[in-house]
Structure 1
């Protein structure tokens, strides 16, 4: 059992007194974040951010802000976390069961914002009056609130979370789409800056709405989402959006499930038929019907849909019925009895050979119709939407166009990154049996300096190394070097603690090896894995730099004279 009470005197109360090897291996990622002093759970789905976690969180927000300002050309604002009921009623979203709702002393109702489409639209209508005011993008990084019934996964699904949400405003579809593409590119740059493996996938717009959307995911087996990709064309989409075909059509011989729906005017009963062992894909069903389906009946029972259909049509015999058959079915499939006995065959239509169920591995890609599909689990960390007029129309946000007319609605887009969720996801992605492995850009510290007893000689060596790193490093390591540990810790315990916290490089100053210094490299190289090896081959002899071991735990051990330490650290950190 490794015992310690502090990393430094200034924040010792926030760090645990002990942790063990079994703790590092057995605890969930969210438990380990608490054990090592990054966060502290206060209630289900609610967390306090401690100094280490706040350092990582602030570094992440800084990286995001840099790209939003410089590449996204966005303007930062900060909106209130309390939103009026009237706004949400206007857009039809007040009845959302995940909103935290409250009243003031006068009985007026509000909610804590889970997202800010209503508030930002209401704000910007005061400043957008002409087409000359657009396109414009604004963003914020603030806490959001969601009344999760069963919050789980720690930071991955909390009831309070930090989010970066941006909103674009344009005078026409072309400019709106151009901004969407620019923010898509900005998001790609943000995740590339973090040097973590990510994919973007076309996705369902869900309750936010809009014309189309894209999600950003980290690939990990613990994720709640499923992505599908084609081995031939490389297309990646969420399960809700991916169309697939069986290797051979119409081979299913088992029982058939069905789902009833109505057209928007309730004049036609739509009967979707699909294999019982498959899940109806609502997006594919909508596409078959060109979105002419009443969405309010989506989650209603078949009996309820039939009742509405019969009530809204005077004579069912003369009403229209449309059967939509999944391409996996055939005449020998076991169809259920049709509930309506009286209808005219002339009013009975059928659509065949369409795919209306969730895709499965090894089926054929619906886009290229050549490649087979593979699936993988992932953690969603970002989502961007092209909204069109979904919010500006009900909130009456118009502008004066080039013809001096004031009858056009502003076109919107929205762009979110779950910042605190991303911290939890990266922690999950990079942890191992020794603790966390953060990308350098997110690590609470980039370098730790570990030595033996704090005698005068050791303290002078640490001072010398830190001074050189601060003055000569090209990576600006100011405030990024951890060199103060609990005085009671030995050098082995300090190294173990540094590794557990996920600090990419641990500089070990041992009395026997001085003036040579050992570096243990713990950071993960997801991108250019061999770049440091090329630098070692090119400059190793001149710097007297040697890589002594690269053990099975993924910890490289380097040996370098102290006068060349800064150069080697800079080269190692660039890939982490």
Structure 2
């Protein structure tokens, strides 16, 4: 005899709404505090985070979106240890990093990122160049010894991220993989429904020769992204080259000295005193520039022998200077003017809004604050070379050892949750897109009716609707308010008018395809719609139980 299946009803978490009885909401309350008050997370200590059922549900949804898109382009998931030995990090020169959590005894660390471990893993597994490319990703915590944690999930001592790594035979193949990942990232961020920007970026401490940041535009963001009004080129502040609309000849001119790596050339960079010099912009023109030497007196002293004909001098002028600019006196004597080369009209300082885009030399750049939520890097051999990750490759003269080209690709899962919470909140609280909402529908019952409950929850379960029943001993009004405050897209009310069911809309609409479903089924399901006072937004729907799942899913499809 087959046992009778019991009806499974999904309910709100045990501590749902616990801290809201005397809470007065204001849009001035920081989002990280609001997330804690609503029970998505708690902070046991500054920089540390506990995730609750609400937060974990969002993590799972977001992780599955990422898994789907990474799997589509041939990446395989794995999970590396969260503890790494110091030797690999000494080999790559990163053991002394200031934000590394080192364990007692200084033999191990908690991983802030996994370039060392993944390279070592692949190197030990790889048997032939024919196995390339190797593309791997993981979703797990990372750790950063942040001295001043702030912004909750945006800058803490621990964070959840997806980090992916690619291993290719050479640069050309690596760039093919890089573009595949960029394509997958576009799909991931489109799935999340929130507008985003891909911006050219500096590689920073990770290294490499090419990188892009993925941002949500928001005034609370710590990053600055510039975008051109003509060519739409986007880049962060460390990568934005610009030209002035006109030269300010009244500004004082400063000079900073650099040398090339072989110490043969003194580079003199001239720029306006009211702007910030970016040495990496000089490196665009002088690729072997040494950025490690900072003592100006020692640099000048090493070039003070005017009879040393092996020395060369390069003067490089920022584009905001003119031939009439009053340059500082040159501090050195030299025997031959042929020893000096002058480069002019070169962008050397950080851009400002309203200047001319250096990419197209036509459009005007605008600046916006942004929250970085992803980063893609082409690493080349930055990690594979010091860790001896190489394969034997056949050539015309026999086998040769070739270092592997790498890429790495990160997405901050906890950062995305925090960023979307910040971007989508309004006067009524949080508002999650259906793609990552803790659940999609809150069900509220007026009165007890066992037959009605069985009927509705069978329909919802069979229709694969992501719901939670709020059966707390509080008023219906409080349940509906707190569901909207938590950011749940829809609420269902089962009341005295059953089998007509009321659906309240909370989530934002990113499309209006539900209207086609309405026109098709409005008579069949006795479907009525109530709009707000301005007849703009649909705020309530009334539908017969037989059409409940169809209507709910059609609404959620646009949210």
What are the equivalent positions in structure 2 for 1:238-257 lying under 5 Å apart?
A: 238-248=236-246, 250-257=247-254
Please state if 1:481 is matched with 2:481: no
SS of alignment partner, residue 306 of structure 1: helix
- The one-character-per-residue Cα deviations of 1:389-420 (angstroms, maximum 9, x if unpaired) are 11111111111213352411011111111111
Cα distance in structure 2, aligned partners of 1:391 and 1:445? 41
RMSD: 2.3
Aligned counterparts, 1:416-565, within 5 A: 416-452=410-446, 455-457=447-449, 459-471=450-462, 473=463, 476-477=464-465, 480-487=466-473, 489-511=474-496, 513-526=497-510, 528=511, 530-550=512-532, 556-565=539-548
Go from structure 1 to structure 2 and tell me whether the alpha carbon gap of 1:354 and 1:551 turns closer, same or farther (over 3 Å shift). farther
Matched, 1:40 2:39: no
Q: Say whether the 8 Å CA contact 1:388–1:413 is kept in structure 2.
A: yes
Show the counterpart of 1:368: 360
Q: 1:537 to 1:339 in 2, by over 3 A?
A: farther
Question: Any residues of structure 2 matched to 1:169-568 within 5 Å, and which?
Answer: 169-248=167-246, 250-289=247-286, 291-297=287-293, 300=294, 304-311=295-302, 318=309, 319-340=311-332, 344-403=336-395, 405-452=399-446, 455-457=447-449, 459-471=450-462, 473=463, 476-477=464-465, 480-487=466-473, 489-511=474-496, 513-526=497-510, 528=511, 530-550=512-532, 556-568=539-551
For residue 479 of structure 2, give the secondary structure of its aligned residue in structure 1. helix
Separation in structure 2 between the aligned mates of residue 313 and residue 182 of structure 1, nearest angstrom: 52
Contact 1:228 1:374 in 2 (8 A): yes
Structure 2 Cα separation of the partners of residues 278 and 254 of structure 1: 10
How far residue 446 of structure 1 moved from its aligned partner, in angstroms, is 0.5
- Separation in 1 of the partners of 2:207 and 2:335? 37
Shift in CA distance, 150/262, structure 1 to aligned 2, threshold 3 Å? same
Flag the 1:447–1:8 CA change in 2: closer, same or farther, 3 A: closer
What's the TM-score once normalised by structure 1's chain length? 0.90
Q: Is the 8 A contact 1:8 1:486 kept in 2?
A: no
Change (3 A) 1:93 1:235: same
Residues 333 and 327 of structure 1: CA distance in aligned 2, closer, same or farther (over 3 Å)? same
The answer to which of 343-352 and 36-45 deviates more is 343-352
Query: Is residue 11–residue 468 contact of structure 2 (8 Å, CA) maintained in 1?
Result: no
8 Å CA contact 2:227–2:235 kept in 1: the answer is yes
Residues 92-115 of structure 1 deviation map (CA, whole Å, 9 limit, x = unaligned): 111211111123xxx452221111
Separation in 1, partners of 2:260, 2:342: 15
Contact 2:230-2:364 at 8 Å conserved across structures:
yes
Which runs of structure 2 are paired with 1:127-138 in the superposition (5 Å)?
Answer: 127-138=125-136
Aligned residues: 547
C-alpha contact (below 8 Å) 1:100/1:147 kept by paired residues: yes
Deviation digits for residues 440-496 of structure 1 (CA, Å, limit 9, x no counterpart): 1211111111233xx333x5434322221222x3xx32xx21113312x11110100
Equivalent position of 2:3 in the other structure = none
Query: In structure 2, do the counterparts of structure 1 residues 236 and 388 end up closer, same or farther at CA, with 3 Å as the change threshold?
Result: same
Per-residue CA deviation, residues 299-327 of structure 1 (Å, 9 max, x unaligned), is: x3xxx133145247755865322211111
Distance in 1, Cα, partners of 2:143 & 2:332: 47
Whether contact under 8 Å (2:271, 2:318) holds in the other structure is yes
CA distance in 2, matches of 1:338, 1:498: 69
Q: C-alpha separation between the residues in 1 aligned to 2:296 and 2:192? A: 49
Whether contact under 8 Å (1:507, 1:520) holds in the other structure is: yes
Higher helix share: 1
What's the TM-score once normalised by structure 2's chain length? Answer: 0.92
